[in-house]
Amino acid sequence: MNRSTERRLRVAIAGFKLESVTFLPNLTTLADFQAVECSGADLIDAHRGTNTPVGGFIAVCDREGIDMLPIVYTEAGAAGPSSDEAFEHYLGHMLSALSGEKIDGVLLDLHGAMTTPTRFDADADILAAVRQQVGAQTRIMVALDYHANLDENTIRDADAAFGYHFSPHTDQGETGERTANCMVRTLRGEINPVWALIKPGLMVPSIFSATNLEPLASVVQNSIVRARNSERYLDVSVFAGFSYADVPNCGFSVLAVTDGDREMAKRIASEFSDIIRTSRAAFSHRGLLYGIDDGIAEACRIAAHSDRPVVLLEHADRMVDSTYVLRAVIERRLGRTAVPFLWDPEAAAAGMKAGVGAQVQLSVGGHSSERAGGPVMVDGRVVFAGPKSFHATGPYYTGRLVDLGDVVVIDTGFMVISITTRPSVAVSEDCFIQFGMQASDFDYILLRSKTHFRAAYEPIVAGIVIIDTPDWGPADLTTLNFVHAPSDHTYPFTDAA
Ligand SMILES: [Zn+2]
C-alpha cells in the first residue's frame, strides 16, 4: 500500500507532573505550575531534542511522520501536593483541547505520584478523565517516572504504560520513545498491547532507589534484557515508588506490556515482583549513611587523599532549603566548599538589592517547614546577582530549560553559596559553569539530590558521603507518620531490616 495515500496518524501530547511529598505543609499552587508551563507549538519547541519523555514522543512522531497535537506541559519536581485548583486547571486545559479534535492517540507524560488534598491518585483521575473525553477507541499511552506509586487502578484507563528504567533518570527520552513506539505500532495494527501490574509490597527511601545499588541493579538490568531478548513484543518497567507520599498504593510495582498476551504479562511481572519481595531485606543499605559529625569526618578523610572534591549529600532535603549540613560547614570551615542552589526567594531578593560587590549578612534557608533546619547566617561578598536560566547539560534531562529566577552568589572566603528564587536541585555541573566556576575549584560540594546527581558527579568526585538529616526525606521511613500507606503488606525500613 502506498503510505502517502493513507490518512496521516495524529496524536495528542500533554504532560502534567508532580512528585507529591504529602508530609509537606505547603501545596504546589497554580502559580508554581504556570511559572514553567508551555503549550501549543511552544511545547514542541521546548522539548524537541531534549532527554525528556516528551522529547522522546516528538522524536518518534518526527521519525514516523505522525502529526502532533501539542496541548500543555508543566511540572513542579518533588514538592507539596498540587492544589485542587491547579489540578482542575490543567486537567480542564487538556480536556477542552481534546474536545472535538480528530486524533488517533494520546501520549501523556505523567509522574505517577501526584496527589491533591482530595485525591490520593491524581494520575488515575487524569487518565480516567482523558479516557472519558476521547472514548474507548482512541489509544492512550503514558510515560511514568520510576518513582511512580502505582496500582492497577492508576493506569486502568491507559492502553499501555512505561517507566524510566534508571535512577538517575538518564533514560527519560528513551522512555518517551518506548511509549511512542508502542503507540505507533499499535495504531498501525502491528501489535495490540495489554499489560499486568504486580506489587511486591516494599517501600524504600529514595536514597536507596538508585539503580546502581544491588540487588536493584540486577533486577532492573535483567528486566531490560528479558524484554530485549523476547521474540514477541515485551516491555518491562520496575517502579521503586515514592515513599514520601502517604498513599494507599505506595511502594514498588512491576509492569509488563505484551502483544495481546495478558497471561504472559502477568507471569513476567510476577517473576520480577517475586524477586524484589524475597530479597527485600537486601534493599536496605544503612551502612552507607552517616550522621552530620561522622559524615563530615569521613568527607575530610576522603579529601585528605585526593585532589578531587567530595560530595556531602544532604539527601533528606525535600524543598532544596535544608540547613543542617550548611550550618555544620559554616561552623567547621572545612575547606573551600560549594553550596549550589539553596532555595530562598527572600534572601535572593535581599542579595539582589545589595548588588554585586556588596558585603552582606543574610539569613538563608530552612524556611520550608519546621523540619528544614531553620535559617543560618551567611556573611560574605556578592559575586553574582541577576536572573539565570539555561538549558541543562550533562546526562540528566539534557537540554531542558532550567529557570532559577533571580540568583545571588555569595563568596564567604571558605564557601561559595548560590541562592535561588525558584527551587531547583543541582544535578549537573551547570551550577558551577553558569557562574564561571568549575566543580574542581572546590574541596567539598554540598548537594541535595537523591540519585540524579550521580550521573554527572560520580566521574569527577573523590567520594560521596550520604548524610542523613531529620528533614522530610529521611532514610528511616519509620520516623514518618504513615496513615494511608498499607503497613500490613509493605515493608518500611526499620533498624530491624
Ligand atoms: Zn523519579
6-19, pLDDT tens digit by residue? 789 999 999 999 99
Distance from residue 56's CA to the centre of ligand 1 (Å): 17
Q: Convert the pLDDT of each residue in 253-275 to its tens digit.
A: 999 999 999 999 999 999 999 99
Does the N-terminal peptide bond of residue 215 adopt cis geometry, omega within 30 degrees of 0?
yes
Q: How high is the pLDDT of residue 480?
A: 87
Q: What is residue 239's predicted lDDT score, i.e. its pLDDT?
A: 98
Separation of CA 6 and ligand 1 centre (Å): 39
What Å distances lie between residue 169 and 189, 291, 464, 495, CA to CA? 31, 27, 18, 29
In whole angstroms, what is the distance from residue 497 CA to residue 487 CA?
15
Residue 18 CA to residue 7 CA, distance in Å, equals 36
Centroid of ligand 1 to alpha carbon of 4 (angstroms): 40
Ligand 1 centroid from CA 362, angstroms:
33
Ligand 1 centroid–CA 327 distance in Å is 28
Question: Where on the phi/psi map is residue 326: left (φ > 0), alpha (ψ -120 to 50), or beta?
Answer: alpha
pTM of the complete model:
0.90
Q: How far is the CA of 158 from the centre of ligand 1 (A)?
A: 20
d(CA 212, CA 458): 11
- Give 350 Cα–ligand 1 centroid separation in angstroms: 33
Q: Mean of the pLDDT values across residues 315-343?
A: 95
Burial of 175 (0-12, 13-18, 19+ CB in 10 A): buried
Question: Considering only CA atoms, which of 80, 25, 76 is closest in space to residue 424?
Answer: 76
Given the C-alpha cell 527485600, which residue does it identify?
280
* pLDDT at position 322: 96
- Residue 16 Cα to ligand 1 midpoint, Å, equals 14
pLDDT recorded at residue 146: 98
pLDDT, tens only, 270-308: 999 999 999 988 998 888 999 999 999 999 999 999 999
Look up cell 511502594; give the residue: 251
Q: Sorting pLDDT into bands at 50, 70 and 90, what band is 497? A: very low
Say how many Å lie between the CA of residue 176 and the centre of ligand 1: 14
Beta strands in 164-233 (DSSP E): 193-198
Write b or e for each residue in 435-463: b if 16 or more Cβ atoms lie within 10 A of its Cβ, otherwise e: bebebeebbbbbbbbbbbbbbbbeeebbb
Model pLDDT for residues 208-251, shown as the tens digit of each residue: 999 999 999 999 999 999 999 999 999 999 999 999 999 999 99
Q: How far is the CA of 241 from the centre of ligand 1 (A)?
A: 8
> How many percent of the chain have pLDDT more than 90?
87
Q: Which three cell numbers stand for residue 32?
A: 508554581
Q: Under 8 Å CB-to-CB from 462, ≥6 apart: which residues?
A: 302, 303, 305, 306, 307, 308, 309, 310
pLDDT at residue 400, as a whole number: 82
Query: Rounded to the nearest whole angstrom, what is the distance from the C-alpha of residue 357 to the centroid of ligand 1?
Result: 39
